[in-house]
Structure 1
Amino acid sequence: MSRLLLRCLLLCCLALVAGCPKSASKGTALEELQYAYSAAVRWGDFEGAWNLVDPKVREAHPLTDIDFSRYKQVQISGYRDLGGTTLGNGEVVRDIEIGVVNRHTLAERTVRYRERWRYDAAAKTWWLVGGLPDLWDER
């Protein structure tokens, strides 16, 4: 699939979520956004996934074209939800295992990542608080 088509699909998903009736539960909206986010990451659409990051985080820590070009050097081979926890402060965390293949060496490795989602009552949506996964962290 082309990146343009993937972005269009992601935007359609976001539009559907935004257009959901107000009776939809916050949990359902979160699941739909998490699905859209995981699909964007699995397909390598990190620009699309970046749109689901909290605007305050995007403003404080903007990504450059060089940052996005680093994501183009990898292929995602797997995205597995390892479970999550609801925190008492309107946040949800979810542990993720991502399979990453370096496009140049074809070496595959696994990266663990913790997503942190925050509900924004004013915008009536969930935002990813931690930013995009660091696929190069050598911890």
Structure 2
Amino acid sequence: MNTSPRRRTVLLALAATLLLSACTGVGTKTDVLQRTLYAYSAAVRWNEGNIDNALTFVDPEYLETHPIKDLDRERFRQVQITGYYVKGSQQVTETQYAQRVEIRLVNVHTQAERSIVDDQVWRWDEKTEHWWLTTGLPRIAETR
């Protein structure tokens, strides 16, 4: 294909603009959701007894009505997460996403392993363009 130098320059500038906007942009709501879910799972898996990273994903409104207790912090210090497996998920509405996760954990004192099911509901905050976990941290004291 024989194109003029000016047309080639315009096409290259257009392609560069599209590429840069794709790289620097936040992405779609779905892209942000997938990155959020991955980052949250990493924060839970690699907690090493510190739940502060995972708490940054929890909806501030939820935390206001359900503040984290010292007992819950201590429970997280006593376990090591050994598995985080999404068992099902669905887009409930355009601004709400739900997933069921199996979390395997080991008590660091007894080395006993068990699993829990964490039913999560995430909501999209249009103002901050952020997905928030509306169901709080996994309830590791409960078994199902």
Bin for the TM-score computed over the shorter chain: 0.7 to 0.9
Letter in 2 for 1:106: Q
Match of 1:41 in 2: 44
Aligned mates of 1:37, 1:92 — CA distance in 2 = 14
Deviation, 1:49, is 0.5
Superposed counterparts of 1:84-103, under 5 Å = 84-88=89-93, 90-103=95-108
Shift of 1:82: 1.1
Partners of 1:42 and 1:133 lie apart in 2 by 11
> Which of the residues 17, 21, 25 maps onto 1:21?
25
- The residue type paired with residue 42 of structure 1 is R
Give CA-to-partner distance per residue, 1:42-99, whole Å, 9 cap, x none.
Answer: 0114211001100101111111333212101001010011120111262100110110
Q: Which of residues 73, 90, 102 is equivalent to 1:68? A: 73
Q: Which has the larger radius of gyration?
A: 2
- Once residues 60 and 89 of structure 1 are traced to their aligned partners in structure 2, the CA distance between those partners, rounded to angstroms, is 25
Q: Any conservation in 2 of the 1:47–1:68 contact (CA below 8 Å)? A: no
Deviation beyond 3 Å, 4+ runs, structure 1: none
Task: State how far apart, in whole Å, the 1-side matches of 2:123 and 2:82 are.
Answer: 27
Give the RMSD, CA atoms, in angstroms.
1.4
Partner of 2:4: none
User: In 2, Cα distance between the equivalents of 1:64 and 1:134?
Assistant: 12
Q: Which moved more, 1:58-67 or 1:32-41?
A: 58-67
TM-score computed with the length of structure 1 as normaliser: 0.80
Per-residue Cα deviation, 1:10-68 (whole angstroms, up to 9, x for no partner): xxxxxxxxxx625x100000110111100010011421100110010111111133321
Consecutive unaligned residues of structure 1, counting only runs of 5 or more, are 1-19
Q: Secondary structure at the match of 1:136?
A: coil
Matched to 2:28, the amino acid is S
Task: Report the secondary structure of 1:87's partner residue.
Answer: strand
Partner Cα distance (1:46, 1:91) in 2: 24
Q: Percent same amino acid at aligned positions?
A: 39
TM-score under structure 2 length normalisation? 0.77
1:120 is matched with: 125
